[in-house]
Chain A
Amino acid sequence: MTRWFQTAGLAAAVMVVVRFGRILELLTAPSPGTLAQALGALALPVLAFFGWQWSRNATGRTQSTWYRLARNRAFLWGSGVVALLCLSALLAPVLTSYDPNAQPDLLGAATQPPSLAHPFGTDFYSRDVMSRVLHGARWSLGIAVASVTLLVLVGTLVGLAAGLAGGAVDAVLMRLVDGGLAIPRILLLLVVAAMWGNLSFLALATLLGLTSWFGLSRIVRAEVLSLRSRPFVSAAEALGVGRWRLILRHLLPNLAAPISVTAALGVGNIVLIEASLSYLGLGAPPPDPGWGNIIRDSTAIMLSAPWVAFFPGVAIFLTVTGFSLIGDSLRAALDPQAQ
């Protein structure tokens, strides 16, 4: 863990030095958004230093879940990759000087292979691919985080309702879940996205969230049923604890493990699904970049300019791997029996 923060601090310091000119440029720009990003870039090495100091103390408590996670190499790699991706999404304008949608020279600068000026090359419209991939992270990661939030909320609520109410409510909810799981997901999304036309960020996130909670609600329901047969929950019920107190104090803490694992894996999963939808033509509204539609835009020139499709694919791959590593190590850390 200490090593993690050391590396992060060093990388942040190098970034500040290398991109100092750009940071100054953003600092003097009139927009408050760019100002915040420039200040954020400057603050990163300092934050990493404090993180390093803190982690030296925190890793002492050997029995905690946190300790088990901090010792887990898979978790450190996964969270490192995810942190890197999130930061590059937040600091995209600091890391690159190009506007992701600008088409500076349609004739002279189109489909150029990677070079020092354009590390990821340029696409058919002479746009800088690195800038598009970095800015595309905002769309792709943002959608994933927003829809996983919705997934967790709906999945947990439905699972709790089915598990606690039992009887007819349970039967109806679980048949709905069966139906939801039986519909080919990509087809369902395709139908909705195509028929309602260009979807905004919020609409797409809602759509993805509302079609992903079926699995979680099943897990939560099973867990609730098994918890209710345990003595501490029967005791609480016998003592006349209210329904909400039972949920908040006794059930939810014990549901944290499956929910957090599902959430971590869910982010990667939704990044994949969103990219697939975008690739089929139903993603970020053009010309805004998302990882999936950068690849879609490049299919016509795929064979002559493969770098355009290559780099966003690597970004998706890194995101999914990072979140899978986090999810797997969370599962191992939260459930000692699984080891």
Chain B
Amino acid sequence: MARFLVRRLLHAAAIVFIVVTFAFLLIHLAPGDPATAQFRDQPVSQELIDQYRRDWGLDQSLVEQYFRYLGNLLSGDLGHSFSLRRPVSEVIGQALPNTVFLAVAALGISFAIGIVIGTAQGATPHSRFDHTLTAITLAVFSMPIFWFGLMLMLVFGQWLGWFPVSGATSPIYSALPFFARVADRFHHVVLPAVTLGLGGAAVVARFHRAEIAEAFSQNFIRTARAKGLSEREVVFRHALRTALLPAITMFGLSLPVLFSGSVLVEYVFGWHGMGLAAYEAVGRRDYNVVTAITLFGAIMVVAGNFLADLAYRGVDPRTRAT
């Protein structure tokens, strides 16, 4: 187990290192730098721009900048955000809670709906019910997520007026009492979380349907039926239990997808999280914010994979042999 852990951690560190290097090179080789983006359309002298570059070390060679960045990173310093004039860790610290809140809500929706639908489909394979749900999940899966968000916004925000159209909180949020604040947050998260979560639910349902159908073809289900258990018990006690194992893997693997989707959903709903921060930073050539968020995304991917493996080893003894 210890050897497995060490090997996987080294592997993960290598991937993260590759990603950081790649992101760093990509951003620094692109035309333009924070100094030009900072003073765009402003009548400033060349001396001021040069001074700015010297102050932030932007005039050094790429190699020097790279090693300085890596060194800072290893000591936990993510650098300075040029456009927001604050440490990057502060920018991320502010955006992260919103993103985590949205992601947890969306994950909850994905797995709750996906597993219910997948189980229902897998228990009655090739029925009309199964085919209808397959068509629906395919349809949800095929919609561009930002368009789906816009349509939900239109129908439930504008026409029906059930939910607020954008933002993470109301303008009067800070004046509200505690419980009203909590309610306000949940009220605002519904539309973005449904947008982000339903696409995931379709993926989970498709995957889970196959797992349940697979479980149904196994001998222990025949034994359970032969014992005279009710169909309910066969589905919930036997088939669902086995099929939930692979769902754990799905859980780990869906973290990064959620992160990518959140860039679009946060943009559509004006939700101030990591995705929107990344989008804005790209436009302002804010090197350090972009690299830090890319790094964060890569860590999510690697950690998701790692946790999925680990959880799987925990619940399924057969995978421990290798």
Interface of A is mostly: helix
B223 touches A (CB below 8 Å): no
**CB contact under 8 A between A276 and B282, given known A182-B15, A184-B260:** no
* Complex-state Cα separation, A313 to B142, whole angstroms: 10
Residues of A within 8 A of B (CB): 175-176, 178-179, 181-188, 190-192, 194-197, 268, 272, 275-276, 279-280, 292, 295, 299, 302-303, 306, 309-310, 312-313, 316-317, 320-321, 324-325
**CB contact under 8 A between A182 and B301, given known A187-B263, A195-B27, A303-B154:** yes
Per-residue 0/1 for B259-289: is the Cβ within 8 Å of any A Cβ (1 yes, 0 no)?
A: 1100110010000000000110011010000
B294 touches A (CB below 8 Å): yes
B290 touches A (CB below 8 Å): yes
Chain B residues lying within 8 Å of A292, measured Cβ to Cβ, are: 144
Chain A residues lying within 8 Å of B31, measured Cβ to Cβ, are: 195-197
Is the Cβ of A324 less than 8 Å from the Cβ of B144?
Answer: no
B172 touches A (CB below 8 Å): no
B139 touches A (CB below 8 Å): yes
Is the Cβ of B142 less than 8 Å from the Cβ of A190?
Answer: no
* Complex-state Cα separation, A321 to B137, whole angstroms: 11
**CB contact under 8 A between A194 and B18, given known A276-B146, A280-B267, A302-B154:** no
Given contacts A310-B151, A317-B144, A321-B142, 14 further A-B contacts (CB under 8 A): A179-B298, A182-B18, A183-B19, A186-B263, A187-B263, A188-B26, A195-B285, A275-B147, A279-B144, A295-B150, A309-B147, A320-B142, A324-B138, A324-B142
Chain B residues lying within 8 Å of A187, measured Cβ to Cβ, are: 260, 263, 278, 282, 290, 293-294, 297
Output the nearest chain A residue to B297 by Cβ-Cβ distance. Answer: A184
Chain B residues lying within 8 Å of A179, measured Cβ to Cβ, are: 15, 18-19, 22, 298
A-B contact pairs, 7 of them (CB 8 A): A175-B14, A186-B264, A190-B278, A280-B279, A313-B143, A316-B143, A321-B142
Q: Which of B143, B150, B151 gathers most chain A CB within 10 Å? A: B150
* Complex-state Cα separation, A39 to B196, whole angstroms: 45
Is the Cβ of B15 less than 8 Å from the Cβ of A175?
Answer: yes
Is the Cβ of B139 less than 8 Å from the Cβ of A321?
Answer: yes
B256 touches A (CB below 8 Å): yes
Closest CB in chain A relative to B287 CB, distance in Å: 10
Shortest Cβ-Cβ A-B pairs, 7 listed: A195-B30, A179-B18, A184-B297, A313-B147, A320-B142, A182-B301, A321-B142
Closest CB in chain A relative to B255 CB, distance in Å: 11
* Complex-state Cα separation, A234 to B26, whole angstroms: 42
B145 touches A (CB below 8 Å): yes
* Complex-state Cα separation, A182 to B294, whole angstroms: 9
* Complex-state Cα separation, A313 to B301, whole angstroms: 29
* Complex-state Cα separation, A184 to B298, whole angstroms: 7
Closest CB in chain A relative to B120 CB, distance in Å: 20
* Complex-state Cα separation, A310 to B142, whole angstroms: 15
Closest CB in chain B relative to A26 CB, distance in Å: 32
Is the Cβ of B145 less than 8 Å from the Cβ of A276?
Answer: yes
* Complex-state Cα separation, A197 to B139, whole angstroms: 34
Closest CB in chain A relative to B211 CB, distance in Å: 15
Choose from A176, A276, A320 the contact partner of B264 (Cβ within 8 Å): A276
Q: Which of A187, A302, A306 gathers most chain B CB within 10 Å? A: A187
Choose from A182, A183, A185, A317 the contact partner of B143 (Cβ within 8 Å): A317
Closest CB in chain B relative to A140 CB, distance in Å: 11
For B, the interface residue count at a CB cutoff of 8 angstroms equals 45
Per-residue 0/1 for B146-176: is the Cβ within 8 Å of any A Cβ (1 yes, 0 no)?
A: 1100110110001000000100000000000
B101 touches A (CB below 8 Å): no
* Complex-state Cα separation, A292 to B146, whole angstroms: 10
* Complex-state Cα separation, A182 to B257, whole angstroms: 11
Is the Cβ of A183 less than 8 Å from the Cβ of B279?
Answer: no
Chain B residues lying within 8 Å of A316, measured Cβ to Cβ, are: 143-144, 147
Output the nearest chain B residue to A299 by Cβ-Cβ distance. Answer: B150
B32 touches A (CB below 8 Å): yes
Is the Cβ of B294 less than 8 Å from the Cβ of A275?
Answer: no
B23 touches A (CB below 8 Å): yes
* Complex-state Cα separation, A295 to B19, whole angstroms: 32
Chain B residues lying within 8 Å of A181, measured Cβ to Cβ, are: 301
Is the Cβ of A191 less than 8 Å from the Cβ of B298?
Answer: no
**CB contact under 8 A between A317 and B158, given known A187-B278, A275-B144, A280-B264:** no
Output the nearest chain B residue to A190 by Cβ-Cβ distance. Answer: B282
* Complex-state Cα separation, A175 to B259, whole angstroms: 22
Closest CB in chain B relative to A141 CB, distance in Å: 15
Is the Cβ of B259 less than 8 Å from the Cβ of A184?
Answer: yes
Output the nearest chain A residue to B264 by Cβ-Cβ distance. Answer: A276
Chain A residues lying within 8 Å of B15, measured Cβ to Cβ, are: 175, 178-179, 182
Q: Which of A182, A268, A324 gathers most chain B CB within 10 Å? A: A182
Q: Which of B32, B147, B301 gathers most chain A CB within 10 Å? A: B147
Is the Cβ of A195 less than 8 Å from the Cβ of B32?
Answer: yes
B193 touches A (CB below 8 Å): no
* Complex-state Cα separation, A262 to B19, whole angstroms: 25
Q: Which of B30, B153, B165 gathers most chain A CB within 10 Å? A: B30
* Complex-state Cα separation, A91 to B144, whole angstroms: 25
* Complex-state Cα separation, A309 to B141, whole angstroms: 19
Closest CB in chain B relative to A171 CB, distance in Å: 10
Chain A residues lying within 8 Å of B139, measured Cβ to Cβ, are: 317, 321
Chain A residues lying within 8 Å of B153, measured Cβ to Cβ, are: 302
* Complex-state Cα separation, A252 to B16, whole angstroms: 33
Is the Cβ of B263 less than 8 Å from the Cβ of A183?
Answer: no
* Complex-state Cα separation, A324 to B302, whole angstroms: 28
Is the Cβ of B154 less than 8 Å from the Cβ of A276?
Answer: no
Closest CB in chain B relative to A239 CB, distance in Å: 34
Closest CB in chain A relative to B136 CB, distance in Å: 11
Chain A residues lying within 8 Å of B298, measured Cβ to Cβ, are: 179, 182-184
Chain A residues lying within 8 Å of B144, measured Cβ to Cβ, are: 272, 275-276, 279, 292, 313, 316-317, 320
Is the Cβ of B264 less than 8 Å from the Cβ of A191?
Answer: no
* Complex-state Cα separation, A187 to B263, whole angstroms: 8
Per-residue 0/1 for B17-46: is the Cβ within 8 Å of any A Cβ (1 yes, 0 no)?
A: 011001100110011100000000000000
